[in-house]
Each structure stands twice: as C-alpha cells, then as structure tokens.
Amino acid sequence: MSRIDHYAIFGHPIGHSKSPLIHRLFAEQTGQSIVYTAQDVGPDCFDTALRVFRAGGGMGLNCTVPLKELAFRTADRLTERAELSGAVNTLWWDEGGRLHGDNTDGVGLLRDLTVNLGLTLSGRRILVLGAGGAARGILGPLLAQRPAVLVVANRTVSRARELARRFADLGPLRACGFTELAGQRFDLILNATAAGLENQLPPLPAGLLLPGGVCYDLMYGDQPTAFVRWGIGQGAGLSVDGLGMLVEQAAEAFLRWRGVRPDTGPVIARLRA
C-alpha cells in the first residue's frame, strides 16, 4: 500500500496562503506522494497543534506569521542559519522523534534575487526596511553576498540598532531611522516591514534609488503592493513583490523534507498567471 506523507503550514491568519498549492505543484512535478494542508494556528495553541499533527503522522511543517520565533524556541535542533536568524519557518522530525528547525527565507530570497532576477549583490548598496522577524531572516544571507553597505532602517530605531549589533561581525551593517535616509542612495531596497498588511508604506524620502535601482517587497499580493507601486513611482529599474521568494523558500523546505529540489520556474509562472 502506498503511504501519503502529511505536511502542513501553521499560521494566523492562514486563509490566503499559497503554500498548499505550491507544494501540490512541487509534488506533482517530482512524483512525490504527499498532502500539504494549511491550518489556522495562533501562538496560544501552537504546542497543542504541533502534538496533534505529529500524533496523526505529520512529517514536517512550515510556520509563518506570527509563529516563526515560537518555532525557533520550540525546535530541539537548529540549523546554523536558523540559529543566526532567531526564526524558524521549516520544521521536521527525525527518526528519533527530535524536532529540527531551519530557516529557508534567506536562501529563498537570495535565489529569487540572484538566479531568477539575475541581480548581483556584491559591491552594491542595499537598504532593508524593517527590523522584525522578516528582516532578521535575510540579513545574514545578504551580508554573505558582500554588499558595499547594508543599511537597516526601522520605525523603532532601537530595534534596527539591536540587529546591527547582532550581525556586526558578518559585514558592513548600519542602522538608522527613516528620516536619516534622506540623501542616501541605494542599488536595492527591500521592504521587510509589515506596513503592507495595512496597505501602508514606511515614510520614505524621495530619491533613495540609484539609477536602475531595484525595489523588492518581501510581501506579495494579487495586486501590486503599496511598496511595489512606490518603487515604480520612484523610477525603479525593477519593482517586484516576494512571490518568487515564497516559491523558493518552499522549494528549499521541500528539498529538506523529500531530498529532491523542484524546478521553481514553472511554479512561479503558474502562480503569476
């Protein structure tokens, strides 16, 4: 009898998650027999939901907002990149029943930027907006690309400073508030704030982009996000949302769980269509 392995994404809210579709397309493409469901789980019931899922034969999980820090604290073992980011988006149990945690967000973003979009980050001036969990997951992988400078700007400046201290050994990282950005210029601006959830924008000065500069929103939506629209208005060479990152981080999780890397290009194209 063939066995169907069960995976899921936990988060709140979860209704509009594209992850079940993405993993179904990966499974079809690679001939893997899995089911992948979305479960509305908040922090208060995370432990219980995890136990119930495991008892029912669950093999692995993705965690999204607001559970990534909690997943980090719950895992028995962490990958190096999860340890560094302080957040976990991918969980799985080993044969001994230990729960492993990884963070595939950073590598997913990098694959989208460098492979899908063909960008070079080395020697570039990069700005990250936001200093929450989403920002923390991408700073290490971005610094590993050896940018000329990486600036983290946040509404609450102390949070940006704390991140700059945490990642100081990894490269040229500076912290500031939004008003201090005036007069600075960047090749790439990444929006890792949650402002887009309310269709808002951080208060950004005009003229932040160097000619041909790129805007990238870690969020995505069926319509262009407020930040993507801002980038277009600022004359960006390219202004895109994070759908590619979403598919790439999912592919990395799929690889962890199933030992096979799906071809992401057709899946991104299908979701865009």
Which region among 105-113, 125-133, 145-153, 259-267 touches ligand ATR (by CB under 6 A)?
A: 125-133
11 near ligand ATR, rule: CB under 6 A? no
Write down the catalytic residue from 19, 46, 50, 68. 68
Which amino acid is located at 160 in the chain?
A: A
Specify whether the CB–CB gap between 144 and 80 falls below 8 A.
no
The residue with its CB nearest to ligand ATR is: 132
Asked about 68 being catalytic, the answer comes back as yes
Which region among 16-24, 41-49, 128-136, 141-149 touches ligand ATR (by CB under 6 A)?
A: 128-136
Which region among 105-113, 168-176, 188-196, 206-214 touches ligand ATR (by CB under 6 A)?
A: 188-196
Q: What residues from 62 to 81 belong to the interface with ligand ATR (CB under 6 A)?
A: 65
231 near ligand ATR, rule: CB under 6 A? no
147 near ligand ATR, rule: CB under 6 A? no
202 near ligand ATR, rule: CB under 6 A? yes
154 near ligand ATR, rule: CB under 6 A? yes
| Number of shown-chain residues binding ligand ATR (CB under 6 A) | 16
Smaller CB separation from ligand ATR, 24 or 159:
159
Smaller CB separation from ligand ATR, 120 or 158:
158
User: Rule CB under 6 A: which residues touch ligand ATR?
Assistant: 65, 130-135, 154-156, 159, 193-195, 200, 202
